[in-house]
Structure 1
Amino acid sequence: MKQTFGYKAKARQFFVVLLPIFITQLSLMATGFFNTVMAGHISQQDLAGVAVGVNLFMPFFGSFLGIISGLTPTISQLYGAGKQEKIGFIVKQGFYWAFALGVGFVSLGWLAVPYILPLLNLEPKVEYITSHYLMFLSLGIIPIFISSVLRNFIDAHGYTRLTMCVTMCTVPTNITLNYIFMYGLFGLPAFGGIGAGIGSAVTLTLNLVLNIIVVSRMHPFKDYHVFRHLPGIHLAEWKKQLGVGIPIGATMFCEQSIFGAVGLFMTAYGTAIVAAHQAAMNFTTIVYMVPLAVSMTLTILVGYEVGAKRLADARQYIKLSRYLTFFSVGTLALLLTQFRDEIAALYTSSTEVQPILAGFLIYAVFMQFADSINAPLQGALRGFKDVHVTFMLAVLSFWIIGLPMGWGLAKYTDMGPYGYWIGLIAGIVIGAVCLEVRLRQVQKKYL
């Protein structure tokens, strides 16, 4: 990254950072997309089993990765301020606390899942698929947490193309392995939905290996020598980094857990509704990669400009992001509306699930417009390292307003499961309004 002058130069640098992030995130989501499609064409039970597993797993997994992502604004601000000598130490300490987070995450899952699943009243086959999918997936958690430290280290320098290349190597491998284990090729038994967990665990470990190779051999990262002369544990540095990372992770938990909670509430409506809802959320998540990529790009670029004390440049990047997300999401939403039946048929061959899924996809259009406002604002605030208020606003908009509204509409009106989608959309819109107010307050502090 470098200082730029004028909107044209900023747009060029914005897209240089953005496009690899977008391709990376889209590739990661492609794994979930193909897992869902493959499970949906095995049976409703396999699709539902993977769906419940994802809804239990993703809120916690995303929030823990969010904690690690607190390294991005810290490193990008140091890089912008020309303080590279501090970056290596921060990364090395990140290895320690990311490993500790991984051990805690896996331990929590192994202890809690056997007690949670019986409470959901799932079909026995669905419960079996869910539990074993999560068990195998957990084997890749510690490797991907350590790999995330390296990814944030690379991205914070603006070299997002490197993480894109790593992802482009691992995603096809993941899809291939999942297909092999799910359908039972080369003499292996067909594990069904459980096979997605096995293939993903192998791929998460491969991701770590590739990131180690990049950081060890490529400039400028090899100059930091992050794998040499590892220092002792420095709890004061842990506290400082976790002070940034935990609010980010907590915010992500509020966002992702509400989607997970809604997915679990859907179990009350039967396997077909669970399967349709999960497929719709999976496709919505793919479309969400546009605002998410913009959000991550803003965190890097705003952090870099704030570290260099160039607030006007940071504001210009934020303005660029607004135009990009509205245009891109609007185009995708129009396509989604026109081809919702074809998308539903792609996900499942069940004539019972397809019309329900097509109905959910209509609500997905409105959700994407709300996300196109919300996500870039979060990225900008993280670039300023303003994370605590963002967390409180997430609690307000999602858990105090969004989920209760959705539950009320589902329970006391004839909207049924669609009421939850309306509640989610309302929560995102309210959150966006609050984030806009907060961003203006933060910018005034730097004047």
Structure 2
Amino acid sequence: MHQTNSTMEKIKQITVLLLPILITQLGMFSMVFFNTIMSGKYNSADLAGVAIGTSIWNPIFTGLSGILIAVSPLAAQKFGEKKKDDVASIVKNGVYLAIIIALIVLTAGSLFLNELLLFMNLEQHVHQTAYHYLIGLSFGILPLFLFNVLRSFIYALGKTRVIMVVLLLALPINLVLNYVFIFGAFGFPELGGAGGGYATAITYWFILAMTLFIVIKQEPFSQFRILKNMSGFDPKGCAEILKIGVPMGLSTFFETSMFAAVTILISKFSITTIASYQTALNIVSFLYMIPISVSMALTVLVGYEVGAKQYKDARIYSWLGISMAMLVAFFTGLLVVLFREQVAGLYSNEPAVIALTGSFLIYALFFQVSDALQVTALAALRGYKDVNIAFVITLIAYWGICLPLGYYLSHFTEMGATGYWIGLTVGLLAAGIALMGRLLLIQKRFKIRASISNA
């Protein structure tokens, strides 16, 4: 990263950081995409099982990863302040937290996973697929969390292309492993949808190994000597990450758990409805990789500029990122609405699933724009390390608006499952507007602070 002086230079810097992050996010998402689309081609019951398993795993992973991703804005600010030793210390403490969190998740899963699935009262085949999918995925939890810490460190230095290359190398491996384990190719057992969990776990270990090699051997990462001195657990350093990371993680958790709750509520409908909802959600989630990538670049850039005390540049980056994400979301949402049946056909061979998925996707345009607004406004606030009020806003929007409104429309009107899409869209829009208001307030405070320090 470097100092920019004009709006065009800032757009160029956002783009330089954004494109590799986008390819990386699409690569990460493609693993879920391969699981979903191959399970759908296997049969709709396996697709429903993977959908349930994914709906349980996503809020846990994204919420806890949100804690670890706090390494990125913290390290970016220290990098902007030219404090190399502090950057290394933050990453080391992030590694310790990743190990602790992974162990907690594995312990909780062994105790409560089967009971949770029994509580959902699923059809037997769907239950078994979801259970074994998550068991397979559990073997990749530790490498995935460690990778997220190292990825946050690499992003904080502005070297986003590195992770892009790692993910591009991993994708063919994941694709082949999915085919092998789901369909039982080359003499391997035919595991159906559950095989996707094992394929993804193996891929995570490969990704971690590649990233570790780069951090240890390649410049400029090796000069930080991140893994040279891992002795000595630092409670204060970990507490600093948790102070920023826990509200970040909870904000992310409440969003993804809201989607998971909708999936669980929809599980009371037919297998066709479950499969159609999951397919539609998978499509809009794929497109969501664009605004989420903008948001990740935005957090790093704003954090860096705040650390360098370039508050005007931080403000300009914030609004450029939000504008870019919403513009792209509008056009991608429009394309999905226009070609909804063709896109739905990629996921399933069953006409009923394709038709119902298409009806859900009619709401994709409004959903995409609302989601892009709230995720980028939230990312800009994280660059300022303002996370506590944002957490409260997202909690109220997701669980006080999205879910209750969706439930009411689905169960007390004739909309059925479609009502959840309207509820989600309204709640995300409310979150975006409130987060924008908070961002304006924080930027005003920093502007006043800069005026006082220059007086």
Same structural fold, with TM-score higher than 0.5 when normalized by the shorter chain: yes
Are the aligned partners of 2:181 and 2:188 in contact in 1 as well (CA < 8 Å)? Answer: yes
Q: Which position in structure 2 is the counterpart of 1:183?
A: 183
Distance 2:119 2:363 in 1: 29
Q: Please state how far the C-alpha of 1:248 moved relative to its aligned partner.
A: 0.5
Distance 1:326 1:135 in 2: 37
Alignment of 1:6-45 (within 5 A): 6-45=6-45
Q: What amino acid is the match of 2:353?
A: V
Indicate the SS of the match to 1:229: coil
Distance 1:350 1:231 in 2: 56
Q: Which position in structure 2 is the counterpart of 1:168?
A: 168
Q: Which position in structure 1 is the counterpart of 2:315?
A: 315
Q: Please state how far the C-alpha of 1:327 moved relative to its aligned partner.
A: 2.4
Q: What amino acid is the match of 2:42?
A: I
Name the % identity: 38
Q: What amino acid is the match of 2:274?
A: V
Alignment of 1:99-178 (within 5 A): 99-178=99-178
Q: Which position in structure 2 is the counterpart of 1:403?
A: 403
Q: Which position in structure 1 is the counterpart of 2:385?
A: 385
Are the aligned partners of 2:89 and 2:237 in contact in 1 as well (CA < 8 Å)? Answer: no
Q: Which position in structure 2 is the counterpart of 1:296?
A: 296
Are the aligned partners of 1:397 and 1:430 in contact in 2 as well (CA < 8 Å)? Answer: yes
Indicate the SS of the match to 2:366: helix
Of residues 71-80 and 364-373 in structure 1, the stretch that sits farther from structure 2 once superposed is 364-373
Q: Please state how far the C-alpha of 1:241 moved relative to its aligned partner.
A: 1.0
Q: What amino acid is the match of 1:435?
A: L
Are the aligned partners of 2:393 and 2:434 in contact in 1 as well (CA < 8 Å)? Answer: yes
Q: Which position in structure 2 is the counterpart of 1:260?
A: 260
Q: Please state how far the C-alpha of 1:19 moved relative to its aligned partner.
A: 0.6
Q: Please state how far the C-alpha of 1:73 moved relative to its aligned partner.
A: 0.5
Distance 1:224 1:327 in 2: 38
Of residues 28-37 and 259-268 in structure 1, the stretch that sits farther from structure 2 once superposed is 28-37
Are the aligned partners of 1:393 and 1:431 in contact in 2 as well (CA < 8 Å)? Answer: yes
Q: Which position in structure 2 is the counterpart of 1:426?
A: 426
Are the aligned partners of 1:146 and 1:208 in contact in 2 as well (CA < 8 Å)? Answer: yes
Q: Please state how far the C-alpha of 1:207 moved relative to its aligned partner.
A: 1.0
Indicate the SS of the match to 1:352: helix
Distance 1:229 1:65 in 2: 24
Deviation sequence 1:3-49 (CA, Å, 0-9, x none):
11111111111111011001111111122122211111111110000
Q: Please state how far the C-alpha of 1:417 moved relative to its aligned partner.
A: 0.7
Q: Which position in structure 2 is the counterpart of 1:230?
A: 230
Distance 1:424 1:335 in 2: 20
Q: Please state how far the C-alpha of 1:76 moved relative to its aligned partner.
A: 0.2
- Confirm whether residue 306 of structure 1 aligns to residue 316 of structure 2: no
Q: Which position in structure 2 is the counterpart of 1:242?
A: 242
Deviation sequence 1:190-244 (CA, Å, 0-9, x none):
1110110110110111111011011011111101111112231111111111111
Are the aligned partners of 2:337 and 2:364 in contact in 1 as well (CA < 8 Å)? Answer: no
Q: Which position in structure 2 is the counterpart of 1:251?
A: 251
Q: Which position in structure 2 is the counterpart of 1:325?
A: 325
Deviation sequence 1:129-186 (CA, Å, 0-9, x none):
1101101110110111111111101000000000111111112211211111101111
Deviation sequence 1:42-98 (CA, Å, 0-9, x none):
111100000000001100111011110001000000001111121112211211111
> What is the number of equivalent residue pairs in this alignment?
447
Q: Which position in structure 1 is the counterpart of 2:59?
A: 59
Q: What amino acid is the match of 1:113?
A: L
Q: What amino acid is the match of 2:97?
A: W
Are the aligned partners of 1:92 and 1:231 in contact in 2 as well (CA < 8 Å)? Answer: no
Distance 1:334 1:126 in 2: 33
Q: Please state how far the C-alpha of 1:364 moved relative to its aligned partner.
A: 2.0
Q: What amino acid is the match of 2:294?
A: V
Alignment of 1:358-369 (within 5 A): 358-369=358-369
Deviation sequence 1:414-439 (CA, Å, 0-9, x none):
01111111111111010011101100
Distance 1:127 1:323 in 2: 42
Q: Please state how far the C-alpha of 1:346 moved relative to its aligned partner.
A: 1.0
Q: Please state how far the C-alpha of 1:329 moved relative to its aligned partner.
A: 1.5
Are the aligned partners of 1:182 and 1:194 in contact in 2 as well (CA < 8 Å)? Answer: yes
Distance 2:396 2:321 in 1: 25
Q: Which runs of 4+ in 1 moved over 3 A?
A: none
Are the aligned partners of 2:74 and 2:90 in contact in 1 as well (CA < 8 Å)? Answer: no
Q: Which position in structure 2 is the counterpart of 1:278?
A: 278
Are the aligned partners of 1:110 and 1:135 in contact in 2 as well (CA < 8 Å)? Answer: no
Q: What amino acid is the match of 1:93?
A: N
CA RMSD of aligned residues (A): 1.0
Q: Which position in structure 2 is the counterpart of 1:349?
A: 349
Q: Which position in structure 2 is the counterpart of 1:209?
A: 209
Q: What amino acid is the match of 1:401?
A: I
TM-score by length of structure 2 reads 0.97
Are the aligned partners of 1:59 and 1:260 in contact in 2 as well (CA < 8 Å)? Answer: yes
Q: Please state how far the C-alpha of 1:114 moved relative to its aligned partner.
A: 1.1
Q: Please state how far the C-alpha of 1:279 moved relative to its aligned partner.
A: 0.6
Indicate the SS of the match to 1:347: coil
Distance 2:29 2:229 in 1: 36
Distance 1:200 1:160 in 2: 22
Are the aligned partners of 1:390 and 1:435 in contact in 2 as well (CA < 8 Å)? Answer: yes
Q: What amino acid is the match of 2:221?
A: F
Distance 1:231 1:10 in 2: 40
Q: Please state how far the C-alpha of 1:326 moved relative to its aligned partner.
A: 2.7
Distance 1:225 1:325 in 2: 35
TM-score by length of structure 1 reads 0.98
Of residues 258-267 and 30-39 in structure 1, the stretch that sits farther from structure 2 once superposed is 30-39
Are the aligned partners of 2:322 and 2:377 in contact in 1 as well (CA < 8 Å)? Answer: no
Distance 2:38 2:224 in 1: 42
Distance 1:195 1:167 in 2: 20
Are the aligned partners of 1:39 and 1:50 in contact in 2 as well (CA < 8 Å)? Answer: yes
Distance 1:149 1:12 in 2: 26
Structure 1 gaps of 5+ residues are none
Are the aligned partners of 2:295 and 2:376 in contact in 1 as well (CA < 8 Å)? Answer: yes
Distance 1:236 1:119 in 2: 40
Q: Which position in structure 2 is the counterpart of 1:415?
A: 415
